[in-house]
Amino acid sequence: MRRSVPWWVLFSSVCAPVLLVAGWAISAVLQGPEYDPASRTISTLAARGADAYWVMTPALVALGACHVVTACGLRSAAPPGRVALAGGGVSAILLALFPAPSSGGSLDHGAVVAVGFLLLAVWPILAVRRGAEGRVGSTSERRQAAVPPVRTAPWGLRSGPSLMATALMWIGGGWFLMALFVHDTAGAAERVITFAQSLWPLVVVVSCVRQTDGDEEPR
């Protein structure tokens, strides 16, 4: 049986959230008790001069590389979505070139973060395969009715779940801005959003694998 996604795409999509969480968890320990993960962002851990710079920065680069690899092999997704996912991965890699300053803000860093968030927020809906939302009967029913088979889009590439994922990511972006400027809980909000964005490619890939297994019927 030929799978709709190569094994290395499944591997890269699994590694993405694992690398992200492991990176910020280990970096927070290295940074010491003065680092408050609820109020301080992940970018602080990757700032030049930070004790955890050498851990968090490679973790972000590896995360971005995983997104690029996943986008290259996720042939079931529509091309615009794959391009957006790859672009989000490249943005994560570019954070190594434009790290957050040790204090204050950075226009370059902020622009890279914003572009990366935008691309990873819209890629779910851009990846939807149009015109493959349903299936016409079972295999035997289609044969009896002489109806050609209609391939159903994997769950993660259907318009409903993809629109929900994109909407929740945009809501999360609004939450982050409020947490940053009002509630001083930007670190917590950023972790939830970035984890969700790193996890969705895995959800899509698993749905493609499950559909392939489910479509294999005995003759």
Dihedral sign for Cα 196, 199, 200, 206, please: negative
List pLDDT tens digits, range 164-199: 999 999 999 999 999 989 888 999 999 999 999 999
Residues 41-56, mean pLDDT to the nearest whole number: 90
Residue 37 has pLDDT above 80, yes or no: yes
Gap between the Cα atoms of 20 and 127, Å rounded: 23
124, 81 contact by CB (below 8 A): yes
Q: Which helix (H) or strand (E) covers residue 95, if one does? A: none
- Give the pair of three-digit tokens for residue 213: 């297994």
List pLDDT tens digits, range 91-127: 999 999 999 887 767 889 999 999 999 999 999 999 9
- Which of 22-36, 118-132, 144-158, 188-202 is least confident? 144-158
Instruction: Tell me which residue of 112, 121, 110 sits closest to 92, measured CA to CA.
Output: 112
